[in-house]
A and B are shown apart, each in its own frame.
Chain A
Amino acid sequence: MRKNSSLFVVLVVLAGVLLALGGCGKKQVAEPIAEPQEDTQAVRGDDVPLSEPEETIYVEPGAGVFQDIHFEFDKYRILPDDEGTLQRIARWLKENEDVKVLIEGHCDERGTNEYNMALGEQRALAARRYLVTLGVASDRLNTISYGEEQPLSSASTEEAWAANRRAHFTVSQ
């Protein structure tokens, strides 16, 4: 224990020296020691509720390309209507090779919570597979399922359900 804490002190001092030498006014990292695995998001956005919109993404080129695609009830196959959207996304990604995309899968409120979480993932994965077949490198495409947790509309109507069954694309870096 004692060894560890003195090692820690040494590291902190070293870090301080490096920061001072660097002198480029970088923000001091004030991570809690207990949770070293936390990323900066945790520090910055501790109280951001899940329902709030994702942080605004400033991507001037390609804005308008990343449109949602939609799914039938309890299904995750890509609909013919959405193939054009996916082709536009693939084309743009091939022109912007440094960009990675997070594909979110969403469901309507029907179905059980756990099964919807799995179904949302299938929707994101279906979109990912489609983009990969169009030549986008798979390591540029991550998936996350929100299941029924983030509906666009909380109404219980066919229109709301149809809008909520979607894959949504965000640029992650």
Chain B
Amino acid sequence: MHSILVRKQQLVAFMAVAIKGAVRDRVLGAMVVVGLILLLTTPVVALFSMRHVLALASSYSLSIISLMGLLLTLFIAMGLLARDLEQRQVYTICSLPISRATYLLGKFLGFAIVIFLAVAILGCFSAGALFVLERIHPAERAFAWGGFFIGLWFQYWVLLIVGAITILFSTVATSNFLPLALSVGIYLGSYSSEAVHYFVRTAAGQKELGAAVRLFGNVVYWILPNFSAFDLKAQIIYGVALNGRELLLTQLYAVGYLGVVLVLATLAFARREFF
């Protein structure tokens, strides 16, 4: 019981360190600035729409949130371990009676909280701009506010998974560039893997593609996260109905995928030689 309490305290301490690091880097302040820019530019961009002002505004807002979230995720997740390795703090930590898993998970929790706050800040500014635009240019169909916040939630989970993947690569890589390049590659591939998997199973895919390519398409689909399922932009922008069962499955899939990546990261980190 005592050891669990100690481990919890250690976890919270590492989490706090990760949050303090992000605050020191003025990450949240930067997100407020980006949010303000978003708030001011959304109505301007939306005015270019020929017919559907709110659709263009929401598409623009969600794209900015996604892009900023990705940049922030890569920036923070890359620095989580790299900074401690560079400053040799990890050597001190490893010499203490603290499990490496606690250290890594504590850091990840701190990262998760910072990303949540960043998405929330951007989401609030974006919602403000969309709320005003909806009043000025009412659409035929009411804007799907519920879908908007659900979409942001799943966007957050994409960022958590990308962050966990970056941390996994950081635990084994000796350079900073490799985790970045691999994470970006996986991020891009994860939005296409579902379409590729679908195509290889169609009659055209069976006919046009060789067995090795089909196998590759299948393997990639099962290994990479299926981010297409997390992408609810069409539903948000155009008010298309959300499928509750699909959302539940996606959420459970996200928890499972994140869990697997974090377990692999802790295993890899536990085996890493520092001395």
Chain B binds chain A: no
